[in-house]
């Protein structure tokens, strides 16, 4: 979905990195640990891996998370990037319409809930708890840095926008 969304809504930035496959060692480690947990628990506790109401909740979170992330990319179009900008491009505007009217950082919101939903869908209780901690720390740090950058780029316009919106993410 990430690659397709980038191709549709911001084709000038489309690269193989848009697949988010080369997202860093931590990203690969997290997914490797999640799959390892799934297969170990499936082998030793197969009844834990039956599709149940928690799996349905996970599926809902995956769908909602992906929808929010895709809608964020659609709303921001060329203003969306997988990287935090160090300088403001001439045509860079503060996106305040669409899903951005409801929340700040909807793509982070979407990824946060998508990742947690995947762990519920896989019935991975250990990784679910671990992902909460790691994702909260990651997004807390990333959002703080990005918001400093946005404040520098947009000044009072950012301050007013930030006062009216929330991240809708726990503890961020």
Q: How far apart are CA 167 and CA 29, in angstroms?
A: 26
Query: Looking at residue 83, what is its pLDDT?
Result: 80
pLDDT digits (tens, 9 = 90+) for 110-119: 999 999 999 9
Q: How far apart are CA 149 and CA 159, in angstroms?
A: 12
pLDDT for 1 beyond 60: yes
In this structure, is residue 64 part of a structural domain?
yes
In this structure, is residue 79 part of a structural domain?
yes
What is the total count of domains within the chain? 1
Assess contact for 162 and 154: CB atoms under 8 A.
no
CATH number at residue 17: 1.20.120.1630
pLDDT digits (tens, 9 = 90+) for 145-170: 999 999 999 999 999 999 999 999 98
Question: Which of 18-32, 81-95, 99-113, 149-163 has the weakest average pLDDT?
Answer: 18-32
In this structure, is residue 40 part of a structural domain?
yes
pLDDT for 11 beyond 70: no
Question: Which of 20-24, 76-80, 118-122 has the weakest average pLDDT?
Answer: 20-24
Assign 79 a pLDDT band (cuts: 50, 70, 90).
confident
In this structure, is residue 172 part of a structural domain?
no
pLDDT for 126 beyond 70: yes
Burial class, 25, CB count within 10 angstroms (exposed 0-12 / middle 13-18 / buried 19+): exposed
pLDDT above 90 as % of the chain: 72
Structural domain of 70: 2-164
Assess contact for 94 and 104: CB atoms under 8 A.
no
Assess contact for 70 and 117: CB atoms under 8 A.
no
Tally of CA atoms within 13 A in the half-sphere of 49 that contains its CB: 12
Mean pLDDT of the chain: 90
pLDDT for 68 beyond 60: yes
Question: In this structure, what token pair is assigned to residue 150?
Answer: 């946005």
143 or 80, greater pLDDT: 143
């Amino acid at each position: 979905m990430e690659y397709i969304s980038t191709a549709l809504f911001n084709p000038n930035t489309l690269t193989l990195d848009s697949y988010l496959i080369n997202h860093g060692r931590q990203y690969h480690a997290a997914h490797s640990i999640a799959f390892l947990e799934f297969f170990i628990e499936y082998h030793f506790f197969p009844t834990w891996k039956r599709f149940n109401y928690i799996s349905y909740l996970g599926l809902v979170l995956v769908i909602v998370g992906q929808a929010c992330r895709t809608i964020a990319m659609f709303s921001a179009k060329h203003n969306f990037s997988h990287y935090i900008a160090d300088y403001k491009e001439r045509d860079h505007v503060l996106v305040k319409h669409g899903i951005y009217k409801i929340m700040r950082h909807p793509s982070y919101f979407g990824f946060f809930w998508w990742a947690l939903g995947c762990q519920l869908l896989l019935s991975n209780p250990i990784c679910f708890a671990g992902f909460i901690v790691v994702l909260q720390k990651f997004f807390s740090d990333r959002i703080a840095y990005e918001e400093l950058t946005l404040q520098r780029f947009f000044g009072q316009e950012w301050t007013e926008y930030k006062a009216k919106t929330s991240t809708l993410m726990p503890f961020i």
